[in-house]
Structure 1
Amino acid sequence: MSGNGGEKRKADEMTAAADVVEVPLAELKDVAEKGVSKLGYNEEDTKVICDILMYSQLRGGNQGLIKIITHGADKAPDCVPAKVVHESKLSARLDGGKTHGMLVVSKAVNMAIAKAKEHGFGMVGTSNTSTSTGSIGYYARAIADAGLIAFCFAQSPEFVAPFGAYEALLGTNPIAVGIPREEGKEPIVLDMATAAYPFFGLLEAKTAGKPIPGDVAYDAEGNATTDPAEALKGAIRVFDRSYKGGNLSLIVELLAGPLVRAATTDKKSAKNWGNLVLAVDPELMGDKAEFAAGTETVLARIKGAKKLPGVKEIMLPGEGGSARAAAVSASGVVSVEKNLYEGMKTAAGL
């Protein structure tokens, strides 16, 4: 389960400076690790979860540290290690065993990469998890960093209404795609929800006492609302408020639901959510260097396109988030919403 970082960043612009605290990056990581550890995870699993949370946090996304204080990182008391229930040389399906979604999908990514490295293609699906997978761009980036093309899909409970309806039936259903580039260059990473606003973005807004945009959600009666609490009782809209977004969300629902044997009805109570990860070696189409060179040609043309008035730079997918993460890492300081940080410290026992 993931979300739409662009909508969240728009909402962030409404946050006054007095509502944030400047936290040293090392301190923030330490507090996060303490908070996740107190949920019952061992050192290795804590690191995996915190790496994924910080990936989103540093990029200004909504799949970050808010999860620590809103049950998005909780450990199920009855969880067991994920196991392979179906496998071929090109594919596998994992029963997550109620283990945290981030840990299960991380395992799926490693398996998909290994299969693609050996056979050119790897597809791994997961089911039987009921916790957030975090920013699925993290997994697409990991696959692309391995020199492979990535496709990632995530299903979640009924938070989003199909186009033309106000009943929540679909998940926020994000898609991530990773495209490797020439050595030394950041991969292209598309990470987008098919929902107009992220579920955890609603929780962030509620925590901060902030309104949400007026065109992203309905209340329980189908009325547009700016109150995140009312939106949580109703439904989020699809990202483009049209049939195109609704159809795209449905495709994700099918790929990360029935295909991987995840729940298809009453997903929240079933606690059986699905994910699908694909890794593809570009050499299946011939020389990888030719693909890389062609990619750079296309990207250069996009970056050099004639700009509309007021546009300073054409941004590639993931470019803005990576620049933000690099700037934060260089400064060593992170701006964090004050209620979120106080909640994190409480969770960490500080």
Structure 2
Amino acid sequence: MVPIEELKTTTTKAIRGIGYNEKDAKVILDVLMYAQLRGNNQGIIKVTTNGLAMAPDAEPMVVTHETKLSAAIDGKKTQGMLVLAEATRVAHEKAKEHGFGIVGTCNTSTSTGALGYYCKSVADQGMISICFAQSPEFVAPAGSSKAIFGTNPIGVGIPSSEGAMVLDMATSAYSWFGVLEAKTAGRELPDGAAQDKNGVLTKDPNEVLDGGAIRTFDGGYKSSNLALVIELLAGPLVGAAIEGKLAAKNWGNLIMVIDPKMLGQADFEKNAAFVMNRVRNAPKQPGVDAINLPGERGDAIAKANEAKGEIDVETNLWNNLKKAAEAFSG
């Protein structure tokens, strides 16, 4: 059990030790802690597994195309969380002025972290947000022995009069950093989550890392098709790499922000809360204690951790993080 403030301090030092300035480290820390507090494996594991490595040829991100409703951002190899945070800000500003904003990003080669972080920041301010992320070939399409897709997550934030609902899910059965986390902890992967280089199911993270692949979340065509849609919208549409993505170091994101008033729905938030409560309070099957909406489980975990003031961190991960923090001398 690690005090949350100590975890933040140690993580900040580790991020600064990589070379990030104070301002950028604050953004990255916020994204990582959002995930870590919720039990999401998009958290501090990224610090210790080279997930935040700075590209030696990184330059300031630039807007390459813009209209009153849209923008395209070339990340110029800037860290992915910093680029998506800026894309979210731009899309939100356009939606506040015009009712809708859409921003695509390309040319990043590091993780953008939990998409729920960005979607929640928008939904908490009364706007709808939809976000997609494409990444290197880690996931095999249904029926294939070869990885083609990224983990291709989708994030959605929906405001309501009773608080935002935030969906954050990968189209893969497991996250890439979850595989790295399992390797670090010396534990197996869940049944059906991954396959070896021959396409045979495996629970060994080392076999996945040795030419294997993660599977889509149901191992079938529905999840595979959804992954394909995200691959197209966060790949070719935004100018990201379409093959050899790991070597190209050019990954993509797409974020859309919508003001519900654009469609004349002044009562949207009240009606959204009604629908959410209708689902939450639906008759339960035998043995079911609660019907949770997207994000509620993570919110409850985060609230409990914050109330305790400390959080359980896997021992090897904590030791590796402390070692990484030693690189910062500021």
Q: TM-score, length-normalised on structure 1?
A: 0.92
8 Å Cα contact 1:100-1:129 kept in structure 2 = yes
3-state secondary structure, aligned to 2:65? strand
Within 1, Cα distance between the matches of 2:153 and 2:163?
21
Moved over 4 A (4+): none
CA deviation after TM superposition for structure 1 residue 214, in Å: 2.7
Cα distance, 1:287 vs structure 2: 3.7
Answer whether contact 1:161 1:170 (CA < 8 A) is retained. yes
AA in 2 matched with 1:197: Y
Matches within 5 A, 1:56-75: 56-75=35-54
The answer as to 2:191 corresponding to 1:214 is yes
Q: Does 1:84 align with 2:63?
A: yes
Pick which of 96-105 and 318-327 moved more: 318-327
Q: Does 1:262 align with 2:240?
A: yes
Matched letter for residue 120 of structure 1: G
Q: Equivalent residue for 1:202? A: 179
Render the CA deviation track for 1:194-227: whole Å, top value 9, x for unaligned: 0011100000000000011231111111111110
For the residue of structure 2 that corresponds to 1:190, the secondary structure is strand
Give 2:121's aligned residue. Answer: 142
User: Which amino acid is 1:56 matched to?
Assistant: A
Q: Does 1:303 align with 2:280?
A: yes
Give 2:263's aligned residue.
Answer: 285
Residues 1:318 and 2:295 are matched in the alignment: yes
Tell me whether 1:337 sits opposite 2:314 in the alignment: yes
CA distance in 2, matches of 1:213, 1:60: 16
User: Given that residues 149 and 282 in structure 1 are in contact (C-alpha distance below 8 angstroms), is that contact kept between their aligned partners in structure 2?
Assistant: yes
1:155 aligns with 2:134: yes
Q: Which residue of 2 aligns with 1:180?
A: 159
Displacement after TM superposition at 1:271 (Å) = 0.2
Aligned AA (2:15)? V
Of 91, 97, 115, which aligns to 1:118? Answer: 97
1:229 aligns with 2:212: no
Rounded to whole Å, the distance in 2 between the matches of 1:343 and 1:50 is: 17
Answering whether residue 209 of structure 2 is matched by residue 249 of structure 1, we say no
Q: Which residue of 2 aligns with 1:8?
A: none
Verify: 1:48 aligned to 2:11, yes or no: no
- Asked whether the equivalents of residues 159 and 170 of structure 1 are also in contact (C-alpha less than 8 Å), the reply is yes
| Letter of the structure 1 residue corresponding to residue 302 of structure 2 | A
Rounded Cα–Cα distance in structure 2 between residues aligned with 1:240 and 1:82 = 37
Distance in 2 (CA, whole Å) between partners of 1:297 and 1:180 is 12
SS of 1:38's partner is: helix
The structural deviation recorded for 1:322 is 0.8
Match of 2:217 among 228, 235, 239: 239
Letter of the 1:201 partner, please give it. G
TM-score (norm 2): 0.97
**SS of equivalent residue, structure 2 residue 256:** strand
Equivalent in the alignment of 1:34 = 13
Residues 71-118 of structure 1 show CA distances to partners (whole Å, capped at 9, x for unaligned) of: 111111211111000000000000001000000000000000000000
Deviation at 1:327, TM superposition (A): 1.1
Mind listing any 5+ residue stretches in structure 2 that lack a counterpart? none
Query: 1:324, 1:103 → 2: CA distance?
Result: 26
Identical amino acids, percent of aligned pairs: 56
Q: Are the aligned partners of 1:113 and 1:146 in contact in 2 as well (CA < 8 Å)? A: no
Once residues 312 and 240 of structure 2 are traced to their aligned partners in structure 1, the CA distance between those partners, rounded to angstroms, is 37
2:41 is matched by which residue type in structure 1?
A: N
How far is the alpha carbon of 1:35 from its aligned partner?
A: 0.3
Secondary structure of the structure 1 residue equivalent to 2:313: strand
Query: Which residue number corresponds to residue 192 of structure 1?
Result: 169
Give the residue type in structure 1 aligned to 2:316: N
| 1:344, distance to aligned residue in structure 2 (A) | 0.1
Which residue of structure 2 lines up, in the alignment, with residue 17 of structure 1? none
**Which consecutive unaligned segments of at least 5 residues does structure 1 have?**
1-21
User: 1:227 and 1:303 mapped to 2: Cα distance?
Assistant: 37
Q: Distance in 1 between matches of 2:278 and 2:240?
A: 41
Worse-matched range after superposition: 67-76 or 252-261: 67-76
Q: Distance in 2 between matches of 1:305 and 1:176?
A: 24
- Which residue matches 1:272? 250
Count how many residue pairs are aligned between Structure 1 and Structure 2. 326
Structure-1 separation of matches of 2:232 and 2:55:
26
Asked whether the equivalents of residues 90 and 123 of structure 1 are also in contact (C-alpha less than 8 Å), the reply is yes
CA distance in structure 2 between the partners assigned to 1:280 and 1:102 by the alignment: 21
Post-superposition CA distance 1:296-339 (Å, at most 9, x none) = 21112111111111111110110110111111111101000000
Q: Secondary structure at the match of 2:201?
A: coil
